[in-house]
Amino acid sequence: MCGRLSQYRGIHDFVDALSLPDAWVNTLGDEPLARYNVAPSTQLALFHVQDDTLQALAVRWGWRPHWARDRAPPINARVEKVAHGAFFRAIWPRRAVVPVDNWFEWVDEGGSKKQPYLIRRKDGAPSLCAAIGQFPGPHGAVREDDGCVIITADSAGGMVDIHDRRPVVLAPELAREWLDPRTPTERAEQLVLWQGEPAPVFEWYRVGREVGQVRNQGRQLIEPL
């Protein structure tokens, strides 16, 4: 996963995709997010359960433990290692879902520049990506070490021709189970290892190279060439 995605729907649309009937706390407002070109180190909209209540939060994309200050904060965590490696041990139990409209990958097709592709669900629904992180404390108090990473797995099927890694996207019922603090960590590991949505759920197409510039925004970035 190359590290660029879109979140342009409103947070209410993302909550509807989760199919959660209970009350929730929204700190992101009611207007469409309108972010077509979200880059690492900027804020991601995500869901996290705190005090038995679903929270819609904005959290920095990227996280590292306090003892790894000599490297840039990773934005992704490999599913094969995330549950047992030392790097993400502190945040492995702190689960979240990052809802995205699509993400982008760059492919070497033999030209002078790599060709960007957009990847999204064929059914038009948001992709509910498994994530972990350090999240704001009570009453929304932001801390310096807040941040999140998206869990990734090996690509399969035709998607591997676009990129060898993909975010772990969960079906709504599995995303709810992933978010639930009562879900044992062993079950959470099985969810992301084996039950991510398969390649046939997604479609992909070429988009303009303007998406390569972080400052560029707008619906034109997601239009097919």
Task: Count Cβ atoms within 10 A of the Cβ of residue 208 and give its class: 0-12 exposed, 13-18 middle, 19 or more buried.
Answer: middle
Active-site residue (options: 2, 144, 148, 189): 2
Active-site residue (options: 31, 80, 105, 177): 105
Q: What is the distance between the alpha carbons of residues 176 and 172, in angstroms, rounded to a whole number?
A: 6
Token code pair at residue 24 = 């929730």
Is 105 one of the annotated active-site residues of the chain? Answer: yes
Is 31 one of the annotated active-site residues of the chain? Answer: no
- Candidates 159, 160, 153; CA nearest to 189 is 153
86: number of Cβ within 10 Å? 10
Cα dist from 86 to 67, 81, 83, 167, 182, whole Å: 11, 9, 9, 21, 23
For the annotated catalytic residues, the residue numbers are 2, 105
